[in-house]
Structure 1
Amino acid sequence: MTLLQRLRGLRMDTTPFRESRDFRLLLVAGTVFAFGSMITYVAIPYQVYKLTDSNFMVGLVGAVELVPLIVFGLWGGALADHLDRRRLLVLYGIAQAVIVAGLALNSFVGEPRLWVLFVLAVLLTSTSSLQRPAREALMPRTVKHEQIAAAQALTSLGSQMGVLAGPLLGGVLIAWVGTGWCFVVDACGLVLATLMYVAMRAYPHTTATTPPSIASIMEGVRYGVGRRDLLGTYTVDIASMLLAMPVVLFPAMAEEVFAAPERLGLLYAAGTIGAVLATATSGWIGSVHRHGAAITVSAALYGAMVALAGLSPSFWLAFVFLALAGATDMVSAIFRGTVWNQTIPENMRGRLAGIEMLSYSFGPRAGQVRGGFVADAWNVRGAVVSGGLACVVGVAATAAALRTFWSYDARTDEHAVAERAARAAHDDVRAGI
């Protein structure tokens, strides 16, 4: 194989985007949602700080959002496993547009109300949490089963592009026209994205559904915990974010470690840049079948890159390692999403997507507490390095304890085989065979 052929093999597989109209609509709409949400993510804390001049009040915004994020994420998953998922996307999209419009109105009045900001922030988090399981559960239905890995990479790329560009535009809008226009831009994007959901065709459930209830949520929890391959994906994600996520330490790294506070924004951007590059060169992912091993190795490399960033003698070397950490974390995330979408039964996808929200909600927030505590008790470098090394140990321990997770192979795993057969049977029925 020539070098040119190897390079072509890295090229991102865009087949799902080219072949599926509904996947295109879902991908673009999801990217717009991510882009707009990150603009608002910048604007709300900034406005709270300007109104109160209090870092505690800024932190309180995230604290009050945590409970609705978890509760409504789980309930949204139960709803997505019973009701029309496309209709849920439309209804929650409209709700988010109305809420963000309320944030804009509050900003344009003479004296914005702090309590209104908090209430609308909670409502926005609630509706977003209700919507996300429906979007994630619907994605596999819009592509062929063998295209799920490529579709997952494309979805991740769209999300990362939104995460990268949203805060940049949010900062520009705040500086030039004020926070109110941040919310106006987000609201317009939400309306546009919701219209894309309207344009999608209906995707009725293909199996019997379970009405939403506490019992149905617990059924999903038991299913997720009972499958050791799924449990491995959740545990690895939590270990990575809880032990190694260094974001909370970036201000101290820029100020104290590298004496370059003007480069703080680059530290925040490094991981996203690495993640975008990883997805843009993800053509090889479809040829990997040992997904458990791939997740384990990628997550361990993430911890190692974070540790090396903490040891780096120069800012730019740390930037490179943080970018590599973002790339390896994204590869792990793509394979985790592939396992979920290729093996979870149709009637469980929403609830399992809601449970997934627990891992990426709890891990980063608890990781911020861990990182801040260790940095104050020891030092900033020690907090970053120890977190990265602990991640490597935690991921390795997970693989050792959950052997079926490590040995997972999409070609032979019973759940993957069953879901592949179910999709084939459904496609035959739709084709009239």
Structure 2
Amino acid sequence: MTMERPQPYLHPERPGNGAEGPAPLIRNQDFQALWTSRFFAGLGKESGEVAYPLLILLLAGSASQAGVIGAAQVATTMIMAVVGGTLADHVDRRAILLVCDIGRLLLLVAFASILLNGEADVPLVIGVAVTSSALMGISNPVAMAAIKQLVPPSQIASASAQNQIRFFSTTALGAPLAGSLFGLGRAFPFLAEAVCYLLSTALLLRIRRPMQAPRRVGGERWTLRGTVTGFALLTRHPILRPMMCWIIGFNLAFTQTGVFLAIIATANERGASNLLVGVTVSLAGMGGLAGALVAGPVLRAVSPSRIFLFTAWSAPVCALVLAVTPGVLPLGVIVAFVFAAVPCVNAVFYGYVAATVPDHHQGRALGAVTFMALLSQPIGIVGVGLVFDLAGPIPVFVTMAVVSVSAALFTLGTTMRTLPRPEEVAVL
């Protein structure tokens, strides 16, 4: 694959004639506005990852039903990411993001009102969770595709690393926020989520630069065949293909929602309070945040192959440790160790995508990546709930170890053991 040269005016440069090169990423106001907007949207989404299972456990008292809602959310996000990726390549990206954020804002305000009146039931909760996930699934590849136009090519890696900080900081903050607000009343986490989407909408309106390259005269029309172009790109890519195979297997065992469900259900069985549950899940997210904060230096010092090998083989070891660890808070610490390596893996992977996929295919490629990354997660989430209800926490963690070992075998191939750096792929 070849890299299409972006339009020069779309890349923020230093004031003047541009001879000094691009301004520091921190001074790129459009990118920082998009980043902060997605931070608030992600904070709302992550608080929902804890609030919805807690609400289902309160209404139905079943870990398997809580697992069903988690699986439904992931499956919806997975499918709608393909739709969102296609929209990102054919429709104004700013308009899509605004519609999605405003839609979630109105949805959450209405849902919170119903909860305040005490009229919610399990089908309604599932419906709200799925609808919110659909809008999130559409918006995710759209926002990611916009980065290629808001950031100069030389800063794509730095932008990817900063995005990892955003993702894992919202994971760390969203869980305790939901847990503490849930203690005040079941409607409060969802009101807070609505406020997050309001702030996200306001920040999107501050972005001035176009979020996509100008459309070419006689350009590609929207067809069903064109929708699956992203999958074809992944299939043909000699590096992304084996990496995606490992990611699918890893997510089957260590999907974030599934791990959080295992922690929440185990903590509830051991008599933990809602606040302690939120703090424990937050500890797991803090591992990812710590990894995101050092992702830049790690990527410069450690080869991509070593990053993938460490992540793949540390996961099953940690799963076995989870099976024999008592208490509640230590569970978050152990999961944090696994999650700490994930930001580096993500930064490398998305660096490959940004370097090799032209703008008019960015959305579909990222939509396909999201679909494939989430493909195994619904099975993993439902499996966690079912195994927990049938046998308890220890078999859940042992199963995670077995599955993650199987996934790690993909890292032993020649390609995964000799991965080039993303910048090397870009010049091929």
Q: TM-score normalised to the size of structure 1?
A: 0.79
The aligned counterpart of 1:9 is: none
The aligned counterpart of 1:119 is: 127
**Could you list the per-position Cα deviations for residues 396-422 of structure 1 after superposition, in whole angstroms to 9, with x for gaps in the alignment?**
x32344627843333432xx126xxxx
The aligned counterpart of 2:195 is: 188
SS in 1 for 2:235: helix
**Could you list the per-position Cα deviations for residues 23-81 of structure 1 after superposition, in whole angstroms to 9, with x for gaps in the alignment?**
11111111101111233333344444545555555444334434432321111111111
The aligned counterpart of 1:221 is: 231
- Aligned match for 2:410, one of 395, 398, 410: 398
Question: For residues 115 and 62 of structure 1, do their structure 2 counterparts lie closer, same or farther at Cα, with a shift above 3 Å needed?
Answer: same
Contact 2:162-2:292 at 8 Å conserved across structures? yes
Provide the rounded CA distance (Å) in 1 between the counterparts of 2:117 and 2:331: 44
Per the TM alignment, residue 265 of structure 1 is displaced from its structure 2 partner at its CA by 4.9
SS in 2 for 1:199: coil
The aligned counterpart of 2:152 is: 144
Residue identity in the other structure for 2:236: G
The aligned counterpart of 1:153 is: 161
SS in 1 for 2:48: helix
Contact 2:283-2:336 at 8 Å conserved across structures? yes
The aligned counterpart of 1:3 is: none
Contact 1:73-1:129 at 8 Å conserved across structures? yes
Contact 2:156-2:354 at 8 Å conserved across structures? yes
Residue identity in the other structure for 1:281: V
Per the TM alignment, residue 314 of structure 1 is displaced from its structure 2 partner at its CA by 8.2
Contact 1:74-1:351 at 8 Å conserved across structures? yes
1:39-118 equivalences in 2 (<5 Å)? 39-52=47-60, 57-109=65-117, 111-112=119-120, 115-118=123-126
Is it true that 1:243 corresponds to 2:256 in the alignment?
no
The aligned counterpart of 2:186 is: 179
Contact 2:173-2:282 at 8 Å conserved across structures? no
Provide the rounded CA distance (Å) in 1 between the counterparts of 2:354 and 2:26: 20
Per the TM alignment, residue 211 of structure 1 is displaced from its structure 2 partner at its CA by 3.6
Per the TM alignment, residue 331 of structure 1 is displaced from its structure 2 partner at its CA by 2.2
**Could you list the per-position Cα deviations for residues 216-255 of structure 1 after superposition, in whole angstroms to 9, with x for gaps in the alignment?**
1222211111112111232221121213555444357658
The aligned counterpart of 1:200 is: 207
Provide the rounded CA distance (Å) in 2 between the counterparts of 1:318 and 1:336: 28
Select the structure that is richer in helix.
1
Contact 2:105-2:198 at 8 Å conserved across structures? yes
The 10-residue stretch of structure 1 (161-170 or 401-410) with the greater mean CA deviation from structure 2: 401-410
Higher relative CO (Cα under 8 Å, sequence separation at least 6) belongs to 2
The aligned counterpart of 2:421 is: 409
The aligned counterpart of 1:302 is: 315
Per the TM alignment, residue 93 of structure 1 is displaced from its structure 2 partner at its CA by 1.5
Contact 1:411-1:417 at 8 Å conserved across structures? yes
Contact 2:87-2:363 at 8 Å conserved across structures? yes
Contact 1:36-1:189 at 8 Å conserved across structures? yes
Per the TM alignment, residue 368 of structure 1 is displaced from its structure 2 partner at its CA by 3.5
Provide the rounded CA distance (Å) in 2 between the counterparts of 1:93 and 1:254: 33
Provide the rounded CA distance (Å) in 2 between the counterparts of 1:391 and 1:158: 26
Question: For residues 135 and 405 of structure 1, do their structure 2 counterparts lie closer, same or farther at Cα, with a shift above 3 Å needed?
Answer: farther
The aligned counterpart of 2:292 is: 279
Provide the rounded CA distance (Å) in 2 between the counterparts of 1:360 and 1:379: 27
The aligned counterpart of 1:232 is: 242
1:122-137 equivalences in 2 (<5 Å)? 122-137=130-145
The aligned counterpart of 1:268 is: 281
Question: For residues 369 and 67 of structure 1, do their structure 2 counterparts lie closer, same or farther at Cα, with a shift above 3 Å needed?
Answer: closer
SS in 2 for 1:228: coil
Provide the rounded CA distance (Å) in 2 between the counterparts of 1:57 and 1:322: 23
Per the TM alignment, residue 330 of structure 1 is displaced from its structure 2 partner at its CA by 2.6
Provide the rounded CA distance (Å) in 1 between the counterparts of 2:224 and 2:248: 24
The 10-residue stretch of structure 1 (80-89 or 379-388) with the greater mean CA deviation from structure 2: 379-388
* Aligned-pair identity (%): 19
The aligned counterpart of 1:426 is: none
The aligned counterpart of 1:18 is: 26
**What runs of 5+ residues in structure 2 fail to find an aligned partner?**
1-22
Provide the rounded CA distance (Å) in 1 between the counterparts of 2:240 and 2:77: 21
Question: For residues 94 and 314 of structure 1, do their structure 2 counterparts lie closer, same or farther at Cα, with a shift above 3 Å needed?
Answer: closer
Q: TM-score normalised to the size of structure 2?
A: 0.80
Residue identity in the other structure for 2:156: I
**Could you list the per-position Cα deviations for residues 191-221 of structure 1 after superposition, in whole angstroms to 9, with x for gaps in the alignment?**
2211211111223325645444321122221
